[in-house]
């Protein structure tokens, strides 16, 4: 990540590069992006730009039998673009397109992205749509989960949980939802004090809260200490 940040900064400052030139890319996305994709197995997709791009990528991945690895690619991209300096670099319309392609090449190599994922990112650069990458990642996740009958569970904890513990939590969510598969995303949240929370369901609408923070809030409520000021 540090190397990518440094490259973004260097490319932003460099002014003596060649003028941008369009690449001839083998583009499996052109026809797929002509109209918004509406559904996957009966699940209606929002007719947004992000939804259309995500659906096109999912179509290509499905045809190549690379849905899982493409999903992993998008998770890597999500982590990289979570860094504001990287996102700002690509969202800046004044930065040369060729500089952006150079950084995509570096990201592709360092993250071992599949060729069609790299191609997809370059298409977003050419279309000046890379500022929508965060929304595209979210839409792709929705499409992927729909195609594979996968339930997404976001596990928040103070420290990273062991893989065997996460596997147990995934089994529990699977029992609760009846989903064929469960994907676990982990989030570090120091405010929980200890323990963990699990969000799942439509847009994270369901919550299992096993955190010390929740227990402390319940104790405080029971003791009616919410409005008492403690002093020496």
What is the rounded CA–CA span in Å between residue 21 and residue 38?
Answer: 34
Residue 6: band (very low, low, confident or very high) from pLDDT cuts 50, 70, 90: low
Question: In the structure encoding, which two tokens stand for residue 30, read together?
Answer: 């052109």
Q: Which residue has the higher pLDDT, 19 or 158?
A: 158
Question: In the structure encoding, which two tokens stand for residue 121, read together?
Answer: 């990112």
Question: Locate tokens 């009966």: which residue?
Answer: 42
Pairing of strands 196-200, 206-209: antiparallel
Average pLDDT, the chain: 80
Give, in words, the CATH class of 2-146. mainly alpha
**What's the confidence (pLDDT) of residue 204?**
79
What is the rounded CA–CA span in Å between residue 172 and residue 229?
Answer: 41
**What's the confidence (pLDDT) of residue 35?**
38
Question: In the structure encoding, which two tokens stand for residue 122, read together?
Answer: 């370059």
Question: Locate tokens 């001839």: which residue?
Answer: 24
**Least confident stretch, 35-39, 75-79, 124-128:** 35-39
Q: Which residue has the higher pLDDT, 38 or 68?
A: 68
Q: Is residue 55 within 8 Å of residue 143, measured between CB atoms?
A: yes
For CATH 1.10.520.20, list the domain ranges present in the chain: 2-146
Q: pLDDT tens for residues 39-65?
A: 444 334 444 789 999 999 999 999 999
**What's the confidence (pLDDT) of residue 92?**
93
| Mean pLDDT along residues 71-96 | 94
Q: pLDDT tens for residues 155-184?
A: 999 999 999 999 999 999 999 999 999 999
**What's the confidence (pLDDT) of residue 223?**
67
**Least confident stretch, 7-16, 79-88, 100-109, 155-164:** 7-16
Rounded to two decimals, what is the model's pTM? 0.68
């Amino acid at each position: 990540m540090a190397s990518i940040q440094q490259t973004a900064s260097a490319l932003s400052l460099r002014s003596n590069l060649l003028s941008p030139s369009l690449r001839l890319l083998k583009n499996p996305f052109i026809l797929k992006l002509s109209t918004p994709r509406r559904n996957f197995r009966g699940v209606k997709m929002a007719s947004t730009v992000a939804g259309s791009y995500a659906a096109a990528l999912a179509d290509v991945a499905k045809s190549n039998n690379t849905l899982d690895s493409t999903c992993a690619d998008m998770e890597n991209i999500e982590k990289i673009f979570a860094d504001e300096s990287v996102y700002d670099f690509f969202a800046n319309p004044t930065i040369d397109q060729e500089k952006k392609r150079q950084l995509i090449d570096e990201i592709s190599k360092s993250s071992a992205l599949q060729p069609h994922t790299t191609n997809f990112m370059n298409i977003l650069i050419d279309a000046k749509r890379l500022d929508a990458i965060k929304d595209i990642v979210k839409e792709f996740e929705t499409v992927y989960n729909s195609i594979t009958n996968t339930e997404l569970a976001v596990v928040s904890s103070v420290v990273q949980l062991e893989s065997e513990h996460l596997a147990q939590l995934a089994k529990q969510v699977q029992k609760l939802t009846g989903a064929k598969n469960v994907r676990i995303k982990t989030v570090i949240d120091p405010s929980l004090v200890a323990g963990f929370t699990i969000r799942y369901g439509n847009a994270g609408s369901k919550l299992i809260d096993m955190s010390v923070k929740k227990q402390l809030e319940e104790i405080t409520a029971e003791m009616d200490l919410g409005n008492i000021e403690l002093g020496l």
